[in-house]
Amino acid sequence: MNGIALIEENDSLSVRIPMKIRKRGGRKEIQAPSGLEDAVDRSCRGNAFSVALARAHCWLEMLDSGDYSSIRELARALGLCPTYVTRVLRYTLLAPDIIQAILDGKEPESFTQGKLIGAIPAKWVEQREKWGF
């Protein structure tokens, strides 16, 4: 089964599982071998990109609900720089399938938060073309 081996030596038992290590959001993540993706607990993810996406949508909801009347007011309440809050809020403009790919850890290797500095294309088709989705 995909290179997985059960090895019995002397009085011990070892399980060998081939894996890949991938850099995501500045951190290393172990990728499950093909066929075992569903066995991996996705709640353990919590990479920086996923956290930033969650923050962006939470902050947008706080603005939309009227809790805060401006990004500056929200940033002050959060103790953050308004420029940072503005940059992260822009992640809410990403196409839904791009967001899902990031959350699932299936974004292209070259796609990072750094790629989102600057203008994000308004059209989702252009986003997919620009970043290789």
**Cα–Cα dist 25/7, whole Å:** 35
**pLDDT score, position 73:** 96
Kindly report the number of other CB atoms within 10 A of residue 91's CB atom: 22
* DSSP 8-state code for residue 43: G
Same domain, 50 and 34: no
Same domain, 31 and 78: no
**pLDDT score, position 45:** 46
Same domain, 31 and 48: no
**Cα–Cα dist 127/116, whole Å:** 10
Q: How many domains are there within the chain?
A: 2
Reported pTM: 0.63
Same domain, 34 and 57: no
**pLDDT score, position 107:** 85
**pLDDT score, position 7:** 82
Residues of the chain with pLDDT under 50: 1, 42-45
Which residues does 23 contact at the CB level (< 8 Å), separation at least 6? 29
Q: Is 62 in contact with 92 (CB distance < 8 Å)?
A: no
> Which stretches of 66-110 are DSSP H helices?
71-78, 82-89, 96-104
**Cα–Cα dist 64/46, whole Å:** 25
Same domain, 72 and 34: no
**pLDDT score, position 35:** 65
